[in-house]
């Protein structure tokens, strides 16, 4: 039987998913498949595109490889565009003039970024945010820019703004609508969203229509708005929406929508039954679906159509759970209440915590029609299940959006969900699917994820997936294994309890009494961290040194070229001129690269291992201490100048920052900890993005907990208000000890609080009200850790035996000849591989 020629035009997320489903269907032998991709990159994850600016490469984001496509029997053509479809001859013309015959054609051409028809929109460094090549262009332009503006305040616009912000540009967002994300949030939610975005340092300009872009006076561009107001910027990124890539279909005479898009039926067929369309180019029931989940469902329906099945695409849930610049935004169903006459509304607003929640319910109050969340998405999963499954609401629906302390309802348990409950909308996986896989012997989240693909799309269902897997395993009498590793059948929390209660001070004793085997690279550092958090012993004592990872072993962070960084403590960011001079002299003497960090310290990079003792001797003699940048410990307490200098300051933030840093320095924890102290609500120290944040008020201090930046930013939660200094410190002591005792291995405070049963209300009750009766014990443990503090470098320098480890080679005190640096911007940097070849002499044999 002759293979049919199947051509897929488009190698984006949806096009790739179609090919993946075909390969897994067992029916690929019936087709000779060719896929065309206009980009030079194989299909990659556009949902996490912004992570490209956080260090991920094109290969990291790629869904597959050319080898995988070859194994599937798919002919992959990248850097190739289709220019014309001849439906009568059933051929496809490519941009190189080649003609390919087809029997079936799948249009997965996706969309393109809409650039408003503004005069000057084609000026240099006016770019779009859509592909990896676009991001490369933005990065290059940002390298010679100081300011950037994003035109468009929707989902993609805020992602683009975050990218510019991470590229260290002063960033602004210009939105034509009166609020940010007008599709997802209403006026009140938009107001809170705006506040949170502006607090991150991004200027927000709403209700602005750009008339033209022209040459600027102090920057490359000048944006002129409809009211003749001006905004100067070096870089403009357009992210004002998308339009379907439908020109091929239009030119081929296929039926189109009035405003674009290829019309398809329930089986993804266009007006030509041999041509199918999926993803953002397809118009179904007068709707274009701009999310990946509906595109994946179309891909499955299209495959069924081609292979004789009857799966239909009947629409998709467009609910979204997002985290933009660390700000939670969620929209479920009819979030605005526009589609249901007679709908009733419940709203919850917390201006201090900057949270907004809205319920849209039926006229009889029995059904959830929609919901809107800004600032806290922890309510999302429960509300989504009420909406998707038609579950009857409780008698007091408002309880679903109230905090527990105000009578809020508990989260919807797994048992309350029907088997048909949709868990992963991207891959159309139900609770019943997950349960069945567990019954079939898939006994870990990873196994179920691999089998169902749940959690691999947008990732929003990951938490609920784990909850269902664990719940079902427990129901079957199977052990839900959260052990640290195979050598200890305990969680980190259980090991911490054993060490503390039994007074165990070393790994060998713990392993002998409660483990087996020799230990591994997982349990050894975990136990080392617990021992340090409990007793605060010197980490290079003989019984501890073998447990440490590389950084702790050498009391410095190893860099990519094998050298180390030196980071002395600069408490609260306050430093004397003499100490600054010392840092400069040390950097010059040892040829170090110097950089001011975001945490108000000075990093000295490029130190050779054998130079570390000499460098630290100079620093210790000058009054410096180790900054513990190498450890899972307190890193910094960032501060503004406070009431001492600033005319807005209401409290002495510098003094408090110094006191906090000296109090908690050296205390090991499950992960690194950062503080921030701001002297007023202008928040110059960015305290609300820290693990522990303190903001001054006229009456004292507001304490925030569990914020962090990084790859999964989280805004800190307000814990207590208007505290005096003694109460503040007492609560921080207890919070830190509770975190140390109960967090998982390598778990930041943000994830700890998110996963902690009872959440913030539970923590408040334990810390403030002493509901567990452990407050005194927490206070005493903190006091013991503070009493046992030592500067690890000072202790090391006083022990000649410890200094022996700081050698490049066992029997040689000299430098490593393969550590090579070159000068750039008047400072040293690691040489590239090519530069090393030029500088390292060849060895003759």
Tell me how far apart the alpha carbons of residues 466 and 640 are, in angstroms, rounded to a whole number. Answer: 41
DSSP string, 190-245: HHHHHHHHHHTT-EEEES--EEEEEE-SSSSEEEEETTS-EEEESEEEE-S-EEE-
For residue 381, give the 3-state DSSP assignment.
helix
Tell me how far apart the alpha carbons of residues 819 and 609 are, in angstroms, rounded to a whole number. Answer: 11
- Token pair 């830190």: residue: 736
Q: Specify whether the CB–CB gap between 694 and 656 falls below 8 A.
A: yes
For residue 702, give the 3-state DSSP assignment.
strand
| E runs forming strands in 285-436 | 287-288, 320-324, 327-333, 344-350, 355-361, 368-374, 422-424, 429-430
Buried b (16+ CB within 10 A) or exposed e, 227-236: eeeebebbbb
* Sheet (strand 91-94) strand order: 82-86, 91-94, 99-101
Q: At what angle do helices 725-742 and 492-502 cross, to 10 degrees?
A: 110
- The β-bridge relationship of strands 368-374 and 602-607 is unpaired
Report residue 554 as tokens. 């050498």
Distances from the Cα of 49 to the Cα of 55, 460, 712, angstroms: 11, 16, 14
Q: Which residues participate in the annotated binding site?
A: 640, 646, 680, 684
- Which of 356, 403, 350 shows the shortest CA–CA distance to 187? 356
Tell me how far apart the alpha carbons of residues 143 and 130 are, in angstroms, rounded to a whole number. Answer: 19
For residue 188, give the 3-state DSSP assignment.
helix
Residues 6+ apart with CB under 8 A from 389: 417, 418, 420, 421, 422
- Which of 608, 622, 619 shows the shortest CA–CA distance to 556? 608
Distances from the Cα of 777 to the Cα of 220, 358, 413, angstroms: 61, 41, 34
Q: Specify whether the CB–CB gap between 391 and 433 falls below 8 A.
A: no
Tell me how far apart the alpha carbons of residues 65 and 42 are, in angstroms, rounded to a whole number. Answer: 7
- The β-bridge relationship of strands 634-639 and 673-678 is parallel
Helix (H) or strand (E) holding 829: strand 827-830
Q: Specify whether the CB–CB gap between 715 and 682 falls below 8 A.
A: no
Q: Which residues participate in the annotated binding site for [4Fe-4S] cluster?
A: 640, 646, 680, 684
Report residue 381 as tokens. 């999963």
Distances from the Cα of 827 to the Cα of 588, 590, 594, 606, angstroms: 10, 12, 8, 11
Tell me how far apart the alpha carbons of residues 197 and 158 are, in angstroms, rounded to a whole number. Answer: 9
């Amino acid at each position: 039987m002759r293979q049919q020629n199947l051509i897929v035009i488009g190698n984006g997320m949806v096009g790739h998913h179609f090919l993946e489903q075909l390969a897994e269907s067992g029916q690929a032998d019936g087709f000779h498949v060719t896929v065309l991709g206009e980009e030079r990159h194989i299909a990659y994850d556009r949902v996490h595109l912004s992570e490209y600016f956080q260090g991920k490469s094109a290969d990291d984001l790629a869904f597959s490889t050319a080898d995988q496509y070859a194994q599937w029997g798919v002919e992959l053509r990248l850097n190739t565009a289709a220019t014309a479809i001849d439906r009568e001859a059933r051929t496809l013309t490519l941009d190189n003039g080649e003609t390919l015959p087809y029997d079936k054609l799948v249009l997965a051409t996706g969309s393109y970024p809409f650039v408003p028809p503004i005069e000057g929109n084609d000026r240099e460094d006016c770019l779009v945010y859509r592909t990896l090549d676009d991001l490369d262009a933005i990065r290059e332009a940002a390298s010679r820019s100081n300011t950037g503006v994003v035109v468009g305040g929707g989902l993609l616009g805020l992602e683009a703004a975050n990218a510019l912000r991470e590229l260290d540009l002063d960033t602004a967002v210009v939105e034509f609508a009166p609020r940010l994300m007008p599709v997802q949030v209403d006026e009140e939610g938009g107001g809170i969203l705006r506040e949170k975005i502006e607090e991150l340092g991004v200027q927000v300009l709403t209700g602005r229509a750009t008339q033209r872009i022209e040459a600027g006076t102090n920057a490359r561009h000048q944006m002129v708005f409809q009211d003749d107001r001006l905004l100067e910027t070096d870089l403009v990124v357009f992210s004002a929406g998308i339009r379907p890539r439908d020109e091929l279909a239009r030119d081929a005479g296929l039926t189109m929508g009035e405003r674009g898009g290829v019309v398809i039926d329930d089986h993804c067929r266009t007006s030509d039954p041999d041509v199918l369309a999926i993803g953002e180019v397809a118009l179904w029931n007068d709707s274009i679906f701009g999310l990946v989940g509906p595109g994946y469902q179309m891909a499955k329906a299209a495959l069924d159509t081609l292979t004789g099945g009857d799966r239909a695409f009947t629409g998709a849930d467009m609910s979204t759970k997002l985290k933009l610049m660390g700000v939670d935004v969620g929209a479920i169903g009819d979030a605005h209440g526009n589609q249901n006459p007679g709908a009733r509304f419940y709203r919850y607003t917390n201006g201090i915590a900057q949270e907004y929640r809205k319920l849209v319910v039926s006229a009889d109050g029995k059904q959830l029609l929609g919901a809107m969340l800004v600032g806290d998405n922890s309510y999302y999963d429960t509300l989504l299940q009420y909406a998707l499954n038609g579950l009857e609401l409780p008698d007091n629906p408002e309880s679903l959006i109230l905090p527990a302390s105000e009578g809020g309802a508990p989260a919807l348990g797994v048992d309350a969900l029907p088997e048909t409950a949709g868990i992963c909308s991207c891959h159309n996986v139900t609770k019943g699917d997950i349960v069945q896989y567990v019954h079939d012997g898939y006994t870990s989240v990873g196994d179920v994820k691999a089998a169902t693909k749940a959690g691999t799309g947008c990732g929003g269902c990951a938490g609920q997936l784990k909850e269902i897997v664990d719940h079902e395993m427990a129901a079957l009498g199977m052990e839900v294994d959260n052990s640290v590793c195979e050598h200890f059948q305990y969680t980190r929390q259980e090991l911490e309890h054993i060490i503390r209660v039994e007074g165990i001070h070393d790994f060998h004793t713990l392993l002998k009494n409660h483990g087996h085997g020799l230990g591994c690279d997982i349990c050894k550092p975990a136990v080392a961290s617990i021992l340090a958090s409990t007793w605060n012993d010197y980490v290079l004592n003989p019984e501890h040194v073998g447990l440490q990872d590389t950084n702790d072993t050498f009391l410095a962070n190893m860099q990519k070229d094998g050298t180390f960084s030196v980071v002395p403590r600069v408490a609260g960011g306050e430093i004397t001129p003499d100490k600054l001079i010392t840092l400069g002299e040390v950097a010059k003497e040892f040829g170090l690269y110097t950089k001011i960090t975001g945490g108000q310290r000075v990093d000295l990079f490029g130190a050779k291992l054998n130079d570390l003792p000499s460098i630290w001797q100079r620093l210790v003699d000058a009054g410096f201490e180790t900054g513990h940048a190498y450890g899972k410990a307190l890193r910094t307490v960032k501060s503004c100048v406070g009431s001492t200098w600033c005319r807005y300051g209401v409290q002495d933030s510098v003094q408090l920052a110094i006191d906090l840093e000296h109090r908690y320095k050296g205390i090991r924890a499950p992960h690194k900890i950062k503080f921030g102290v701001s002297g007023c609500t202008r928040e110059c120290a960015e305290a609300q993005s820290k693990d522990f944040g303190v903001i001054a008020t006229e009456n004292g201090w507001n304490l925030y907990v569990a914020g962090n930046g990084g790859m999964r930013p989280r805004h800190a939660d307000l814990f207590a208000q208007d505290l005096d200094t003694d109460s503040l410190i007492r609560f921080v002591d207890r919070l830190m000890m509770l975190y140390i005792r109960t967090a998982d291995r390598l778990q930041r405070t943000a994830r700890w609080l998110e996963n902690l049963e009872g959440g913030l209300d539970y923590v408040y009750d334990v810390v403030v009200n002493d509901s567990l009766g452990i407050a005194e014990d927490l206070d005493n443990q903190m006091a013991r850790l503070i009493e046992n503090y030592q500067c690890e470098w000072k202790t090391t320098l006083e022990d000649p035996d410890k200094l022996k480890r700081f050698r490049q080679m066992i029997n040689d005190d000299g430098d490593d000849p393969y550590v090579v640096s070159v000068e750039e911007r008047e400072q040293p940097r690691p040489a590239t591989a090519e530069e090393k070849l030029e500088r390292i002499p060849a060895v003759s044999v």
